[in-house]
Chain A
């Protein structure tokens, strides 16, 4: 299979207050990409009798998907698989990125390694999505490779419409409104993230 090279890597940072639809936005992007890939491959099979486009791989950290094939991973596994070239032509979603990629932590091995591989994501044809409540919380080095910033503004529970502002490199901010309710079946909005045990212990020790 001959793959077209990426002209630029797609590294997004998605931020917004609680309940504004950060995870919903990323799941919507993942679902739309998965559906497009599935249709393309089905058309190719019908037309050529073989697949010419590889299957889109989806890796998620701290978020579980429903109805979409994906691999649930930890931050350490993502690094290992990046090193072994297992993650290629893929979407990687890291929800609540401040658990492990927080800029106030001392430069942990994870942050160093992730940023080292982040610079190669164009070559590996990976779309990265990092979700933070406030984009400033993301590690400084990640900001240098970000090509898209998304600010989730609001989610209207009555009509299910979410409003986001998107800024890609060299383009102005634009406002996009879409129906978020249709994507809610593909993830659990009430899912919580467990902190690493060491961090919990440290927090307890600091207050006791």
Chain B
């Protein structure tokens, strides 16, 4: 066996050795050194992180991009869950105000200790969500968009088939 390959063979433990706990071993081996001093000044703006850039990447089909604008997603799981259902519901006009008041009240009460949550911010978000679902307009817009995209796709296919695309 060449010397190179001999050197690469790791030293495996004997079979009767006690199994090692992965978490304990990791805690024993890991190191943390402070971040390096950056060249940024006090006014440095971190800008777009990689995670945000990948999530908001506009390089999608027109339909996907438009749907994302019309039916926004939220970071807060509870609000996002509420939004996904409400935006495609059929909300009657006479229920609009009571629903708005109850929902805002409930969310604000659940976040009384959270300084980032204000009544105004919650009101704007919930109003936007409920207004999308008012009288079923959200689902109508979504269906129209999907229909248009399908028509456009069909038209494109026919044009290519006829050689005029």
Smallest CB gap from A178: residue in B: B53
Encode contact with B along A89-109: 1 for CB under 8 Å, 0 otherwise. Answer: 000000000000000000011
Is B37 part of the binding interface, using a Cβ–Cβ cutoff of 8 Å?
A: yes
Roughly how many angstroms separate A85 CA and B37 CA in the complex, as a whole number? Answer: 36
Closest-CB distance, A55 to chain B (whole angstroms): 7
A179 to B52, CA, bound (A): 10
* Contact call B36/A86, Cβ cutoff below 8 A: no
Is A71 among interface residues, defined by CB-CB distance under 8 A? yes
Interface string of A181-198 (1 = CB under 8 A from B): 111111010000000101
The reply to whether A179 and B47 contact each other, CB–CB distance below 8 Å, is yes
A84 touches B20 (CB 8 A): yes
Minimum Cβ distance to chain A for residue B146 (Å): 20
Q: Confirm or deny: B29 has a beta carbon within 8 angstroms of a beta carbon on chain A.
A: yes
A179 lies within 8 A of B23 (CB): no
Name A183's closest neighbour in chain B (CB-CB).
B50
Let me know if A198 and B40 touch, CB within 8 A: no
Closest Cβ of chain A: how far from B5's Cβ, in Å?
A: 5
- Bound: A75/B8 CA distance, A: 9
A12 adjacent to chain B (CB < 8 Å): no
Does residue A120 face the partner (Cβ distance < 8 Å to B)? Answer: no
Closest residue of A by beta carbon distance from B24: A86
| A25 in contact with B50 (CB, 8 Å) | yes
Residue from B48, B50, B51, B59 with most neighbouring chain A CB atoms (10 Å): B50
With a CB–CB cut-off of 8 A, which chain A residues contact B112? none
Q: Is A169 interfacial (CB 8 A cutoff)?
A: no
- In the complex, which residue of chain A has the Cβ closest to the Cβ of B17? A84
Contact A72 B9 (CB under 8 A): no
Which A residues are in CB contact (< 8 Å) with B114?
Answer: none
A25 surroundings in chain B (CB, below 8 A): 50
A19 within 8 A of B: no
Within 7-26 of B, Cβ neighbours of A (below 8 Å) are at 7-13, 20, 22-23, 25-26
- Of A62-70, A127-135, A136-144, which stretch is located at the interface? A62-70
Q: Which residue of A lies closest to B27 (CB)?
A: A55
Tell me the chain B residues, 27-58 only, with Cβ under 8 Å from chain A. 29-38, 40, 46-54, 57
In whole Å, how far is B10's beta carbon from the nearest beta carbon of chain A?
A: 4
Known: A67-B32, A83-B12; 5 extra A-B contacts, CB below 8 A, are A57-B22, A77-B10, A86-B26, A183-B50, A184-B36
Name A residues whose Cβ lies closer than 8 Å to a Cβ of B: 25, 28-29, 32, 36, 54-55, 57-58, 64-72, 75-77, 79-80, 83-88, 108-110, 160-161, 166, 174-179, 181-186, 188, 196, 198
Residues of B within 8 A of A (CB): 3-5, 7-13, 20, 22-23, 25-26, 29-38, 40, 46-54, 57, 59-60
Closest 10 A/B residue pairs (Cβ)? A179-B47, A67-B35, A178-B53, A174-B59, A28-B50, A80-B10, A32-B51, A185-B35, A178-B50, A69-B32
A-B contact pairs, 7 of them (CB 8 A): A69-B31, A69-B32, A80-B10, A108-B8, A178-B54, A198-B3, A198-B4
